[in-house]
Amino acid sequence: MRRILTTLIGIPALVYLIKFTPAYVCFAIVLAAMLLALREYFMLVQTSFPWPGYALASLIVLSFYFPEGQLAMLFPLTAGLILVKALFSGLELREAFLASAFTLFGVWYIGGLMGYLVGIRTLDFGGETGSDFLLLLFVIIWTNDIFAYLIGKAIGRHSLAPVVSPKKTVEGALGGLIFGVVAGIVCRVLFIQQLSLKDTVLLSVLVGIMGQIGDLCESILKRSSNVKDSGSLLPGHGGMLDRVDSLLFGAPAMYYYFYLVLER
């Protein structure tokens, strides 16, 4: 019941925020969600250097809001800054190195990949706004997740990744992809007419596959940390990282499809 209630409240609110608010509101929401997800990640890996990670990940997300490139020039410094923190931490050398590695990985895994949500919001293709594409991304991911779960539970027989996530099935994954494509086509009919049917199908499949991979990759973190959920922020849904894991891989897939395929 808590899961259903959270969904009934959350989806309309998110649709409104995506479609009917300015770009800076989207940036602020993505930034807040990123920091919450990053906090859960740091708790999972128990790094000793969370604060440099928060600052550097925020810088990366900010760079997508100001995409001219000046901020991106600072990114190579992130590894050096975190290692300097390790140098003066007073920790044993191996512990300091591992803490640096965990922190830097989190900066790029969560901060870097979530920045693409802001990047999509800035897209402009054939008169369609970035908010339309961002909503398309969420609809494909949501539909994929819901039907992968329902179909897997109903007829799933063959495990997709038994070591990482024993309950996920091949049947569920295929069902999620199919319904994700259907959802993408419905979105095209309703509000993204400039996107061709072929591109809609290809984009829906690509985002669906990458979203499922993102979900499995987050399961590696949870499995290695012996936890079921990354947190308990959302009743019935786990933590913020549990909610954005598919988006972390789906968003870059959509972003680069537009730049490498549609903008040629």
- Please write the tens of the pLDDT for every residue from 207-217: 999 999 999 99
Residues 99 and 46: beta-carbon distance below 8 Å: no
Model confidence band, residue 246 (pLDDT cutoffs 50, 70, 90): very high
Residue 199 neighbours by CB under 8 Å, 6+ apart: 257, 261, 262
* % of the chain residues with pLDDT over 90: 45
Q: Mean per-residue pLDDT for 181-200?
A: 92
Q: Reduced to 3 states, what is the DSSP secondary structure of residue 167?
A: strand
Q: Which residues of 113-128 are buried (b: 16+ CB within 10 A; e: fewer)?
A: bbbbbbbbbbbebeeb
pLDDT value of position 175: 96
Residue 69 has pLDDT above 60, yes or no: no
What are the phi and psi torsion angles at 98 (to 5°)? -65, -40
pTM: 0.89
Most confident of 62-66, 67-71, 172-176: 172-176
Q: Mean per-residue pLDDT for 13-25?
A: 84
